């Protein structure tokens, strides 16, 4: 049914060699014959286009089959060479639909990860209309490194396509393909490749079922540590960030890091996705923490090429989920203008311990003003950190609850995820009331200036018909976080700018 | 109006000859060299794909340029050969987006027509998401038949892209491109070609601006009759049908034809678009009228390949509009289960004469039951025609007025059109009240059985909470229409089946 990578590489190398000989005009009679034969085949395939369409109802399939064996990428649909119209008999005109070009990729892969000994998740984008209006499908194949052309191909038995951002995509939507084989693959750790075959299944053109064969994952001999699927994870807490873009404030990022590294502790790790937001000054505040092993940055600036929902946020979140699934007990999804808040008399550890029976929990937002500060801070605002001085909470906005939640999961039970929650969870989910919340300083990280623009000493204030109330619960953490930063990385970031 | 033929046939014959020689191994040294050179070029282009990406940052543009000159269809974006990820420095990973394949065409042309000495309309489909989320654009070029490689290219000065079915498309939406040149082209009638350049403009991939160059129209020397743009049109009334599909009732079609040929008169023409509905029995009832020159059938069955709105109805209507724009004074758009009704004491001619100052008028629907007949017809229903026996009108449905209108235009003032009206009209439009209406026998043409299933002699009847009232205004026409048919085409259709 499929075509193997092994074969392709061979024939590629073959042609390479021949080309070089031909170029030097050092060709034997045999070679000339071979060249001629090859060209004749090419020409014959082209000639077929000019025959009467009735003779050619097999044509697109045939051509597809033919070209698929020559390249790891599928051919485009052939150009239409039919005449625009033919008068079949007086009064009856047969019209042709002449087709041109390319408007979207079939699949764009960002990563593929094991979900266990016999299961994989492939994370990528695919044409939104392809999936809305046709049944484009997928199948995985395992190609052992020691397979030969006579080996029986190993295909996945079950393949689920999941659309985590369904209906939100633009030209592209995220498609996570979960492939499961009937038996563990590469169980002897001798290496091999996971291929994803992506079929358009008549989408774009009912006459065509184009197939792309994608090298999703390569495992080198001895390269898989199968123990991760059953052993304790390395980290307790893991942070998966959304795409960072724009001219972010290094000082706000600095504050967020110090706060959360202190909160999450030494058995934690943070992954940031750089869609253009990690500029040199932001990198500077990250660097001390990267050196201590707390942070990994994924440069995904290439994502801007593909029109998806909000800098392809769903793609990044799913990449992070599957890539680090077995690395952590808990995995958090929130933004760098959001601060997890643990109420007094409890700790993150105690709260999460009480939630172990849930695969997922969501936290309520506490939306904060990005410009109202306390006039008590009048002469000190520049010295204070954002969460110390932005102490007025937007009461109205807090009511829009469902959309304004963020969440964490035990990732081994999650098949795909979203921004405000995962809808693809094995196990129970719960919406937390008071155990954990998050303060949201919307708009502060994307601004590179002092945020305090309104100073007040009242406990309530109405700005643009929004009621704000004093909420200084975060203030208390300020000194401890600053001491923690200084103790952990010294004074390297003391001169950080807004 | 057609293209291909001349040049292409020549080169086709050429290649044929070469292929045959090669196949017979009867080739000269020169030929072998030529073959070798051709193949080497092919292979070199392919080889480029395997070089390191850094050497190849020029690659997509380069390849595109190269192939564009060899083929009227653009290449697909090249396969991604980047490594999936690179560790740039400890803690920073640069991720690649590896892209695969094809999900939709850039443009699918069905026709291109002159709109005057210096303007053209190109009618086709294009990827819906391409236009929703990027600014894909078009430009026309006129290629005189006597142009040489050193001739200055002639590009259109103004090009409007019109989306008549905007938001209704599925994978494809209709795009009508109106191109206007600063001066008349082919004014000396020496012939030439209209090229449409279709740019993806970063849709699908911000890094790519793929261009398809489409041979939209060929004009042979002496082939254009420029007088049509200024002279009286050939027809008074013209009918443009929507795609016909399914197992249509030959008898219902027969009735519709006789009624409307009689109504429209000898200076009229009817164009039907066959999307599978013109099966042999339907063709049989059409044939006598085709022989008299009243009907043209366009076989557009190929449209099913492309997922658009309702059998690509908007595409067909726009094709008809532009193709026959200068052939008629008035052009009607309605369906074969709809019958134009002219009230007593007026004629179609007198009504339309009074509407000459309008470019467009819409008519109100009179929705008729597809199963309630008069019990007076009890023993005669089989002999009676559909519009003679289906005499109960659905009162409730008639209230949904805006969507339930059909329309006619003076096509010279119309740039694109729709199903219920045109939104691209130069000049005034009016919604008629009583001058013209249309009886709509929804569901009757797609059924191949006797429609009368409920017989009543009351003037009102409620079926499934819908109120129906007796409306026998169409009955009177029955005898006259039957006499007209017999007089015009004899008794050839007397044995037509439901």
Token pair in block for residue B163: 């989306």
Q: Residue A465: left (phi > 0), alpha (psi -120 to 50), or beta?
A: left
Verify whether the Cβ–Cβ distance B105 to A295 is below 8 Å. Answer: no
Classify residue A258 by burial, with Cβ atoms within 10 Å: 0-12, 13-18, 19+: buried
Verify whether the Cβ–Cβ distance A101 to B79 is below 8 Å. Answer: no
- Confirm or reject contact between B77 and chain A (CB < 8 A): yes
Verify whether the Cβ–Cβ distance B105 to A104 is below 8 Å. Answer: no
Tokens 């049908």 belong to B241
Token pair in block for residue B315: 């595409």
β pairing state of A414-416 and B424-425: unpaired
SS3 call for B299: strand
Cα B217 from Cα B124, distance rounded (Å): 13
Token pair in block for residue B189: 């009638």
- Spans of chain A below 50 pLDDT: 1-29, 31, 37, 39-75
- With a CB cutoff of 8 Å and minimum separation 6, the contacts of B97 are A108, A109, A110, A125, A300, A302, A303, A305, A306, B80
pLDDT, tens digit, 9 for 90 and up, residues A469-497: 999 999 999 999 999 999 999 999 999 99
Chain B positions touching A28 (Cβ under 8 A) are none
Chain B positions touching A110 (Cβ under 8 A) are 95, 97
Chain A positions touching B302 (Cβ under 8 A) are 95-97
Cα A235 from Cα A424, distance rounded (Å): 23
Residue A76 phi, psi dihedral angles, 5° rounding: -75, 160
Query: ipTM higher than 0.90?
Result: no
Which residue in B68, B475, B377 sits closest to A100, CA to CA? B68
The residues facing B362 across adjacent strands are B407, B431
Give the B window 41-70 contacts with A, CB below 8 Å: 42-44, 46-47, 50
Q: Could you say which DSSP state residue B104 is in?
A: B
- With a CB cutoff of 8 Å and minimum separation 6, the contacts of A154 are A141, A142, A143, A144, A181, A185
Give the closest of A75, A108, A290 to B91, CB-based.
A290
Inter-chain Cβ pairs, chain A and chain B, closer than 8 A: 310
Token pair in block for residue A38: 């090859």
Residue A416 near residue A162 (C-beta atoms within 8 A): yes
- With a CB cutoff of 8 Å and minimum separation 6, the contacts of B440 are B335, B337, B338, B339, B365, B366, B367, B368, B404
Tokens 């199963």 belong to B371
pLDDT computed for residue B57 by the predictor: 31
β pairing state of A137-144 and B437-440: unpaired
pLDDT, tens digit, 9 for 90 and up, residues A330-371: 999 999 999 999 999 999 999 999 999 999 999 999 999 999
- Spans of chain B below 70 pLDDT: 1-82, 398-403
- Confirm or reject contact between A410 and chain B (CB < 8 A): no
Mean pLDDT score of chain B: 85
β pairing state of B328-333 and B338-341: unpaired
Classify residue B458 by burial, with Cβ atoms within 10 Å: 0-12, 13-18, 19+: exposed
Chain A positions touching B57 (Cβ under 8 A) are none
* B6-23 and A29-48 helices, crossing angle to 10°: 140
Residue A280 phi, psi dihedral angles, 5° rounding: -55, -40
Token pair in block for residue A138: 């997928």
Give the closest of B8, B38, B105 to A101, CB-based.
B105
Give the closest of B19, B90, B296 to A44, CB-based.
B19
Q: Residue B207: left (phi > 0), alpha (psi -120 to 50), or beta?
A: alpha
Task: Give, in degrees to the nearest 5, the angle at Cα B172 between B170 and B175.
Answer: 130
Give the closest of A47, A91, A204 to B102, CB-based.
A204
Q: Cα A405 to chain center, whole Å?
A: 20
pLDDT, tens digit, 9 for 90 and up, residues A413-436: 999 999 999 999 999 999 999 999
Interface test with A, best of B30, B85, B103 (most A CBs within 10 A): B103
Verify whether the Cβ–Cβ distance A206 to B305 is below 8 Å. Answer: yes
Interface test with A, best of B8, B102, B289 (most A CBs within 10 A): B102
- Which residue blocks in B378-476 are alpha helix, DSSP H? 386-389
How close B66 comes to chain A (CA, Å)?
Answer: 15
Chain A positions touching B47 (Cβ under 8 A) are 16, 19
SS3 call for A153: coil
Chain A positions touching B170 (Cβ under 8 A) are 129, 132-133
Verify whether the Cβ–Cβ distance A106 to B105 is below 8 Å. Answer: no
């Amino acid at each position: 049914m499929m075509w193997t990578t092994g074969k392709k590489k061979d024939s590629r190398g073959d042609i390479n060699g021949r080309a070089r000989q031909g170029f030097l005009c050092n060709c034997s009679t045999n070679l000339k014959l071979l060249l001629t034969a090859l060209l004749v085949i090419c020409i014959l395939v082209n000639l077929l286009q000019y025959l009467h369409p009735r003779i050619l109802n097999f044509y697109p399939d045939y051509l597809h089959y033919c070209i698929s064996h020559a390249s790891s990428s599928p051919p485009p649909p052939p150009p239409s060479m039919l005449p625009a119209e033919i008068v079949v008999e007086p009064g009856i005109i047969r019209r042709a639909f002449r087709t041109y070009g390319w408007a979207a990729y079939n699949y764009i892969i960002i990563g593929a990860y094991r979900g266990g000994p016999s299961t994989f998740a492939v994370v990528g984008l695919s044409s939104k209309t392809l999936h809305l209006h046709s049944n484009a499908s997928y199948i995985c194949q395992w190609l052992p490194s020691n397979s030969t052309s006579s080996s029986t191909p190993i295909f996945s038995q079950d393949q689920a396509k999941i659309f985590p951002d369904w209906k939100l995509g633009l030209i592209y939507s995220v498609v996570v393909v979960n492939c499961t084989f009937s038996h563990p693959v590469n169980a002897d750790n001798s290496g091999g490749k996971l291929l994803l075959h992506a079929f358009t299944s008549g989408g774009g053109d009912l006459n065509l079922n184009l197939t792309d064969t994608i090298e999703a994952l390569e495992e080198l001999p001895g390269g898989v540590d199968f123990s991760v699927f059953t052993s304790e994870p390395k980290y307790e807490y893991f942070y998966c960030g959304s795409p960072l873009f724009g001219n972010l404030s290094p000082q706000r990022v600095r504050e967020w890091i110090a706060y959360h590294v202190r909160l999450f502790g030494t058995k934690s790790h943070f992954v940031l996705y750089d869609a253009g937001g990690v500029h040199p000054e932001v990198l500077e505040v990250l660097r001390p923490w990267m050196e201590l092993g707390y942070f990994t940055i994924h440069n995904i600036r290439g994502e801007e090429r593909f029109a998806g929902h909000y800098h392809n946020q769903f793609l990044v979140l799913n990449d992070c989920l599957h890539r680090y699934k077995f690395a952590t007990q808990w995995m958090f999804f929130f933004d760098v203008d959001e601060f997890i808040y643990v109420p007094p008399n409890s700790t993150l550890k105690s709260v999460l311990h009480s939630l172990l029976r849930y695969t997922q929990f969501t936290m309520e937002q506490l939306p904060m003003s990005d410009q109202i500060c306390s006039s008590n801070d009048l002469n000190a605002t520049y010295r204070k950190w954002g969460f110390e001085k932005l102490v007025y909470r937007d009461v109205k906005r807090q009511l829009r609850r469902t959309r304004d939640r963020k969440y964490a999961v035990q990732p081994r039970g999650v098949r795909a995820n979203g921004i405000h929650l995962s809808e693809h969870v094995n196990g129970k989910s719960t919406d937390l009331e008071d155990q954990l919340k998050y303060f949201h300083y919307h708009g502060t990280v994307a601004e590179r200036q002092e945020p305090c623009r309104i100073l007040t000493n009242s406990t309530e204030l109405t700005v643009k018909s929004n009621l704000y109330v004093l909420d200084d619960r975060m203030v208390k953490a300020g000194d401890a976080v600053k001491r923690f930063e200084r103790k952990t990385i010294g004074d390297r970031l003391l001169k950080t700018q807004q």
